[in-house]
Structure 1
Amino acid sequence: MIDKIAWLHFQDGRVLGARSRGKSVFYLPGGKREPGESDAETLIREIREELNVEIDPASMKPAGAFEARADGHASGLLVRTTCYLAEFSGTLAASSEIEEIAWLGYEDRDRVSTVGKIIFDHLRETGLLR
């Protein structure tokens, strides 16, 4: 099981997505937990590295956990993505391994990872993604 923490950030009914260098699919910003890290520590570190902004840990709110087959890995390997809403400070910018950031709507569902598709379905059902 791959354990990931992701940030859900919305603007005008779209969610922020990130695409790594050399990859074709988008994912929700965030990443894998390092040993001993809490969800908050993981999210703060990953978002700082990827988007060059600071997450406000006091504003973090759980938004669900989702599981699916991990893209690009041996069959049977699952990824569990735990999502959070949170406020931030700074200006969003692709950083580190991120080549592109984009505001994604439900029509972009085919451009995201397998677990991303499940998350997009949930976000549409709850009215957060148009």
Structure 2
Amino acid sequence: MSTIDKVAWIHLRDGKILSTRSRGKDRFYLPGGKREAGESDVDCLRREVREELAVELRVDSIGYLATFQAQAHGHPDGVLVKMICYAAEPVGEPTASAEIEEWQWLGYADRERASVVDGLVFDWLRERGVLV
């Protein structure tokens, strides 16, 4: 079994979560991605969010939330994604860039539009009363 190591940004506003859809993909994913060699979680998160949404994350606001693991969407059975999630305050408003086709604020009713591991995040946030 192989595991994809991913770092993700959880950003909530008005009870909804910021989510992105890459060009050619049919599901929404939390902003973030795979770390490069020697890169810390924080460095990876900041780089990925900057590349995908053209916003900076305030370093002093970055905080670990939780880690989730599930079958990786679009990969063969047995390929898992481990997603380490952080909250952070952005500087500026998101703009789709790089491989991102669009971004949206999703509520719990949109859970099926997201990847499997993101669905676990939706459930976790709903249990805590912060995702409507």
Does the TM-score normalized on the shorter chain lie above 0.5? yes
Point out where structure 1 has 5 or more consecutive residues left out of the alignment.
Answer: none
- Residue of structure 2 equivalent to 1:108: 110
The alpha carbon displacement at 1:58 in A equals 1.4
The alpha carbon displacement at 1:92 in A equals 1.0
- Residue of structure 2 equivalent to 1:10: 12
**How many residues in Structure 1 have an aligned counterpart in Structure 2?**
130
Please report the TM-score for the alignment, with normalisation by the length of structure 2.
0.96
In structure 1, C-alpha distance between the alignment counterparts of 2:93 and 2:77, rounded to whole Å: 38
- Residue of structure 2 equivalent to 1:32: 34
SS, match of residue 66 in structure 1 = strand
In structure 2, C-alpha distance between the alignment counterparts of 1:14 and 1:66, rounded to whole Å: 19
The alpha carbon displacement at 1:85 in A equals 0.5
Superposition pairs of residues 75-114 of structure 1, within 5 angstroms:
75-114=77-116
Q: After the TM superposition, which segments of 4 or more aligned residues of structure 1 sit over 6 Å from their partners?
A: none
C-alpha RMSD of the superposition: 0.7
In structure 1, C-alpha distance between the alignment counterparts of 2:101 and 2:9, rounded to whole Å: 17
Q: What letter matches 1:11 in structure 2?
A: R
- CA offsets, 1:98-127, max 9 Å, x none? 000000000000000010111110010011
SS, match of residue 45 in structure 1 = helix
- CA offsets, 1:1-47, max 9 Å, x none? 10101101111000000000011100100111111110000000000
In structure 1, C-alpha distance between the alignment counterparts of 2:42 and 2:59, rounded to whole Å: 6
Please report the TM-score for the alignment, with normalisation by the length of structure 1.
0.98
SS, match of residue 41 in structure 1 = helix
In structure 1, C-alpha distance between the alignment counterparts of 2:82 and 2:60, rounded to whole Å: 23
Q: What letter matches 2:27 in structure 1?
A: V
Point out where structure 2 has 5 or more consecutive residues left out of the alignment.
Answer: none
The alpha carbon displacement at 1:91 in A equals 2.3
